[in-house]
Amino acid sequence: MKILTSKQTSEADNYTIQHEPIDSLCLMERAATMAFRWISDHYSDSGFSVFAGPGNNGGDALAIARMLISNGRKVKIFLYKGQNLSPDATSNLQRLKKIPRVDITDLSVEDFPSSETNNIAIDGLFGSGLNRPLNERAAKIVTYINKSFKHIISIDIPSGLFCEDNSENNRENIIKATYTLTFQMPKLAFLFPENREQTGRLVVLPIGLSHKKISQTPSLWNITEKKEIQNLVSPPHHFAHKGTMGHALLIAGSYGKTGAALLASRACLRSGVGLLTTHVPHSAVSILQTAIPEAMMSVDRSDLMFTEHPELSAFSAIGVGPGIGTRVNTQRALCELLDQSKNKKMIIDADGLNILAANPEWLSKLPANTILTPHPKEFERLAGATGDDYSRLQKAIDFAQKHHIILVLKGAYTAVISSEGKVSFNPTGNPGMATAGSGDTLTGIILGLLTSGIAPFDAARAAVYIHGLAGDMAAKNGMRGLIASDIIEHLQPAFKEATE
């Protein structure tokens, strides 16, 4: 699913109007109808306070108000005209005024009403075209809504929020929605953690914008969909054997962190790799051979840490980092590994990333399209701090392009960034996965798919999707108490669900 800028979305609206063909008022009615149906299904007994602004977002809100009134619901309408209403908002206001005794308050000139806490607020003050902070009067209306209502439904976008970059915005003057009912596709801003209080729970409502126009519109951003995963990860063919499914090398673990090697190894094996060799310190061998008999062991001369690597020619892909620590001998061993891995597929995670951050000149040693999987703090160590999530994404795109690598920025809506600067956001996963070992599990899945021959960018985004899906399956028993092993136990059904 593509993510378009506010300007591109407006162009898709206009193209749909011209080529469906459909007039703009009817397209607005279509959007309002979708929102009305959702609101009716989820709030069957409530009264509503509808806040409509001067633009087409206000027109949507006025149309929704009319539909709710026609459905027998109690509705109060609060209109903020600003300077002038848009033509379609004007038309919907005229339709409303034909209803006997309709309750409309003009907030441009009248005082705020006393709050009715049992009502649901519907926010249609400002839409996706907003490109500057709210003026004083509009900001006061937003503050009033946020303070007065327990439940707020924003239409298309929370009023005051910009669609992409909010680094210069005033967050105090943005609606804090319980739900955002957005049309056709999400806005980029919805995918950033810093906007979670404003966006609330996101619902995407299709309104029939031209698929042709959307497909022809260039965008660096998209959200991964199941049909893409089906095309990327195919079941093994009838004549497959362990030799055709690839041989992975995983370098993981140190004294006290053997669990990282165990989790990543189990996840790699559950991802369909043909052969797995796990390189661990001598002290960890008996633990892993007992816990994971399917994996072969490469034994480091050190009892404590990673200090050397095996001969690399036999391996299709290499994963390194989970639990290896950052001691001097381990740093030296990673440098030697990079020097001898010029043409290898590789994923680096956890302590491997911390070592790179401490030795940034080694980034030039990375094989092209190496996958790095930092969480926010690890990325900050690698590339430097930013003041907001939009700037962090732009820095990540620049970083991936500069070093010809693939970045997996972990978190809600994990962003997988290609070496060309394309970004795929992941829709699966849940907060229960914010637990020790979850990242080690992801590393194993990526390594398994990378080893089986899937291109690095595709392997990364497919692994992130399936990792999140396994976490969602595990969370059916509750998110609290979910552990990384639960994710691994659900990998088989997750692969089945995502690829068949």
The answer to whether residue 458 is domain-embedded is yes
Q: State the Cα angle at 343 between 337 and 348, rounded to 5°.
A: 50
Q: Please tell me whether residues 207 and 232 are part of one structural domain.
A: no
Q: Please tell me whether residues 192 and 296 are part of one structural domain.
A: no
Q: What is the pTM of this model?
A: 0.95
Query: What is the spatial distance between Cα 228 and Cα 81, in angstroms, rounded to a whole number?
Result: 44
Domain of 12, in residue numbers: 6-211
Note whether 47 and 120 are within 8 A (CB). yes
The pLDDT tens digits of the residues spanning 402-444 come to 999 999 999 999 999 999 999 999 999 999 999 999 999 999 9
For residue 117, pLDDT beyond 70: no
The answer to whether residue 439 is domain-embedded is yes
Q: Please tell me whether residues 230 and 201 are part of one structural domain.
A: no
Which class for 392: exposed (0-12), middle (13-18), buried (19 or more C-beta within 10 A)?
buried
CATH code, 388? 3.40.1190.20
- Final residue before a domain boundary, out of 211, 246, 268: 211
Q: Please tell me whether residues 140 and 243 are part of one structural domain.
A: no
Mean pLDDT of all residues belonging to the chain = 96
Q: Please tell me whether residues 45 and 176 are part of one structural domain.
A: yes
CB under 8 Å to 388, separation ≥6 — which residues? 166, 167, 192, 194
- What does the pLDDT average to over 479-497? 97
pLDDT at 27: 98
Q: Order the strands of the 221-223 sheet from edge to edge.
A: 221-223, 423-425, 415-417, 406-409, 371-372, 345-348, 317-320, 247-251, 275-280, 296-299
CATH code, 171? 3.40.50.10260
Give the C-alpha distances (Å, rounded to integers) separating 209 from 14, 25, 129, 183, 185.
9, 14, 17, 9, 10
> What total number of domains does the chain contain?
2
Q: Please tell me whether residues 337 and 381 are part of one structural domain.
A: yes
The answer to whether residue 1 is domain-embedded is no
pLDDT at 383: 97
Q: Please tell me whether residues 188 and 291 are part of one structural domain.
A: no
Q: Please tell me whether residues 119 and 154 are part of one structural domain.
A: yes
Number of residues that this document lists for the chain: 500
Note whether 12 and 218 are within 8 A (CB). no
- Final residue before a domain boundary, out of 211, 246, 277: 211
Give the CB-side neighbour count of residue 35, counting CA atoms within 13 A: 33
- What does the pLDDT average to over 382-398? 96
pLDDT at 115: 63
Q: Name residue 151's amino acid.
A: H
For residue 98, pLDDT beyond 90: yes
Q: Please tell me whether residues 462 and 324 are part of one structural domain.
A: yes
The answer to whether residue 54 is domain-embedded is yes
Query: What is the spatial distance between Cα 420 and Cα 13, in angstroms, rounded to a whole number?
Result: 29
Q: Please tell me whether residues 389 and 436 are part of one structural domain.
A: yes
Higher-confidence residue of 203 and 108: namely 203
Q: Measured on CA atoms in the order 18, 23, 24, 28, is the torsion positive or negative?
A: negative
Q: Please tell me whether residues 346 and 372 are part of one structural domain.
A: yes
Query: What is the spatial distance between Cα 470 and Cα 232, in angstroms, rounded to a whole number?
Result: 17
pLDDT at 394: 97
The answer to whether residue 216 is domain-embedded is no
- Final residue before a domain boundary, out of 187, 211, 235: 211
CB under 8 Å to 35, separation ≥6 — which residues? 60, 64, 155, 181, 205
Q: Please tell me whether residues 149 and 248 are part of one structural domain.
A: no
The answer to whether residue 133 is domain-embedded is yes
The answer to whether residue 275 is domain-embedded is yes
C-beta neighbour count of 84 within 10 angstroms: 10
For residue 199, pLDDT beyond 90: yes
The answer to whether residue 217 is domain-embedded is no
Percent of the chain with pLDDT over 90: 93
Query: What is the spatial distance between Cα 324 and Cα 334, in angstroms, rounded to a whole number?
Result: 10
CB under 8 Å to 331, separation ≥6 — which residues? 355, 358, 359
